[in-house]
Amino acid sequence: MALLEILQFPNPILRKKCTKITEINKDLRRLADDMCETLDYHKGVGLAGNQVGYMKRIIVIKIPEEEQFRVLINPEITETFGIREVEEGCLSVSGYKGIVNRSLWIKAKGLDMKWQKWKIKADGLLAQVLEHEIDHLNGIMYFDHLVNHVKGDWHSGLIQLEQESK
Ligand SMILES: [Zn+2]
C-alpha cells in the first residue's frame, strides 16, 4: 500500500468529470487500498478518484461510526429529500471550511468491489459524504454549494481554519 498525493484546488483535474468503471482488476484493487490508506492518514471521511488524479468513478468513505471503509464504484444519487445547513471541508481545499446546503436524506446506488449492486438510503454524515464525493466525480466542489458563495471567487464564503500543528 502507498500514500497518494491529494490534488489541491484550483488544480483543473478537480473540475473534470470522471468516467464509468467497466471492470474491477488488480490495478483498481490496489488503487482502492491506497485511497483507503490515504484517507485514513489524513483522518478524512471521504475521497474521490479525481482527488488523487484517477479519472474514473470510484469513491472511498470512512465515517467514524462505522468500522469498515466503503469502496463504491460508479455511485449515483437517485433521490434526495429536504435541505439542511451543515459544516463541511475537503481534503482538496486545505485550511478552509464552510457552511453548505445538503439534503436531509438521500438514496444512492452503485457497485461494490465484487461488482455487486448496492442501494442505500442514508441520512446524517453518511448522506453528506456521499453527496460530497459523488459531486467530486462530476467536477463539483463543495464550495459551489455555499450559501453565500460568489461565482468565480472560490474563496468567497469560506472560513479560514486556524493553522494546526501537524
Ligand atoms: Zn472533497
- Give tens-digit pLDDT for 74-92: 999 999 999 999 999 999 9
pLDDT above 60 for 35: yes
Q: What is the mean pLDDT of the chain?
A: 94
The SS3 call for residue 139 is coil
pLDDT above 60 for 165: no
Fold classified for 12-160: Peptide Deformylase (3.90.45)
pLDDT above 70 for 136: yes
Ligand 1 geometric centre to CA of 23 (Å): 25
The full set of domain ranges for the chain reads 12-160
User: Choosing from 76, 85, 87, 133, which is the catalytic residue?
Assistant: 133
pLDDT of residue 152: 80
What are the strands, taking DSSP E only, across 22-148? 46-48, 58-61, 70-81, 84-88, 96-102, 105-111, 117-123
pLDDT of residue 70: 98
Q: Which amino acid is at 56?
A: K
Ligand 1 geometric centre to CA of 92 (Å): 6
Ligand 1 geometric centre to CA of 50 (Å): 10
Q: Is 133 a catalytic residue?
A: yes
